[in-house]
Chain A
Amino acid sequence: MNEDPAKLAAFEARIARGEKIEPGDWMPAEYRRQLIRMISQHAHSEIVGMLPEGTWIPHAPNLRRKMVLMAKVQDEAGHGQYLYHAAETLGITREEMIDALLSGKAKYSSIFNYPTLSWPDVAWIGWLVDGAAIKNQTMLAQCSYGPYSRAMVRICAEETFHYKQGKEMIVQYMTQGTPRQKALVQDGLNRWWWPTLMMFGPHDSDSPNSAVLMRWGIKTKSNDALRQEFINEEVPEVLALGLTIPDPDLRFNAETGNWEIGPIDWDEFWRVVKGNGPMNAERLAARQKAHEDGRWVREAVAAYAKRTPEIGD
């Protein structure tokens, strides 16, 4: 890094004092680069994240669940917009980011490359996937970059609704459901458990960006620390419902107070990250189609904006 040492020292002192870095303030080029990378990937994840659940909107079991799911999916669209705009304050345009997503160049959270095979998968996404996202996002709400931190505070407040509506459904199916409903819930857990744990990213020992992200207050906790917090909070809750977690090595360590898990299949993780997961191609095609299908709307509003105002308009 060839940054001016005096400026860098002043910047790091500001972060140490807990000040937020705002657009216009000096920042190291690497800080800007890392933030653009993280915020844009995060934005893409919100946008692609609408797809696995969106397919179930027409099949919701009742009107209440349908309204809740529509509200949740709308929220994810909103989260994507908050984040694209937070990234734009760093000098990239939304158009560049959308181009990267539509051309398949951009990364987004691998979890959304798994299929939703039954309605209870919607509930598991709320409980586990939004639950894991909240862990990460609660940490990022403390981030040293003002616009990212504020977007995260706003998002976390909304995510708590996503988490609770999902968990409420699982609790309902497991305490009042039919044997078939319970079996679908267990099947969903079997498929979503490990991909959810992978959401926290590679082990700290394989996470090259972590050190600089922690040093500059972008992240304040490591991948493994967040993953362990999540496991410790959710395992007892899942087990209390009579469900089986698909991990034969899972055990409680009374000395550390941690639930210990078996090995994560990182080959699967990297396969999905590199574009070869079960739904990567379909997700990309769905985004491209949505973009094309919306073209006439964009053309219409652009034409409306250019209109000659009528008398009295």
Chain B
Amino acid sequence: MTDTQWPRYEVFKQDLPGQPHKAVGSVHAPDAEMALLNARDVFARRPQVVSMWVAPASAVFSLTAEELAANPEFWQGTAVSPQPYALFAKRSQRRSMTFVEYAGEVVAESAQLAIKQALEDGRFQPETAIVWWAVPLSAISGSDPQDVDSYYAPATAKTYRQQSYYGFVSPTRKSVKREP
């Protein structure tokens, strides 16, 4: 009946230069360009954002610690041809917005083999990973640095979107309790 489905794109948001891009959720869009625009509307209404990446959800290979334990040879028979993959990892069970975040890149013959390499390669701290994502670099589209001013900078001036903008709003207390 409706026509709103479109492919799903996973969205990765970078809050400050030098910080890793973090998976924040997804949007639907007919192409990567619209996905970046929708991602801005959905995930960048507040500061601070300096860059966003989108990748079609169909291009993401995901592996949880539970799946790895159930099938340690998950990479068997997956080799196709070598290409660079971006790796993302979730490393904490603490309550926070953080899911998988960018952990680095490897060249591998499949997404599964990219994660296998990360598990064997000390620089990815495999012992702390709870979820892995591998995404071919060719499937990732990033925001244009030239668009930062028009896409993400305006949010920094909209201070009335922040709860800290509203100080004294309790008739019985000096100040309202901070968020729980």
Contact = CB atoms under 8 A, between A and B. Distances in A.
A212 B150 CA distance: 47
12 contacts: A68-B160, A78-B41, A81-B27, A151-B25, A160-B163, A164-B163, A168-B166, A175-B171, A241-B171, A291-B2, A299-B3, A305-B30
Interface of B: 1-6, 8, 24-31, 33-34, 41-43, 45-46, 62-64, 66-67, 90, 93, 95-99, 130-131, 158, 160-163, 165-166, 169-172, 176, 179-180
Contacts, number: 140
Given A85-B27, A150-B96, A167-B169, 12 more contacts: A24-B63, A75-B45, A78-B43, A81-B27, A142-B95, A161-B161, A161-B165, A163-B163, A167-B176, A171-B169, A298-B4, A302-B3
A283 interface: no
A299 B30 CA distance: 10
The A interface is mostly helix, strand or loop, or mixed, namely helix
B131 A86 contact: no
B171 A240 contact: yes
A300 B123 CA distance: 46
Nearest to A142: B95
Nearest to B11: A85
Contact of B31 (A103, A150, A154, A305): A305
Interface of A: 18-20, 22-26, 64, 67-68, 71, 74-75, 78, 81-82, 85-86, 88, 93-95, 98-99, 102-103, 138, 141-142, 146-147, 149-151, 153-154, 156-158, 160-161, 163-165, 167-168, 171, 174-175, 236-237, 240-241, 291, 295, 298-299, 301-302, 304-306
Given A24-B67, A138-B180, A158-B46, A298 B3 contact: yes
A218 B179 CA distance: 21
A154 B1 CA distance: 31
Contacts of A295: 3
A82 to B, nearest CB: 6
A103 B62 CA distance: 34
B2 A71 contact: no
A23 B67 contact: no
Given A88-B26, A102-B1, A67 B160 contact: yes
Given A160-B163, A167-B169, A298-B3, A74 B45 contact: yes
Contact of B25 (A86, A95, A167, A291): A86
A22 B90 contact: yes
A302 B96 CA distance: 35
B26 A85 contact: yes
Nearest to B37: A301
B66 A26 contact: yes
B45 A78 contact: yes
B4 A98 contact: yes
Nearest to B162: A161
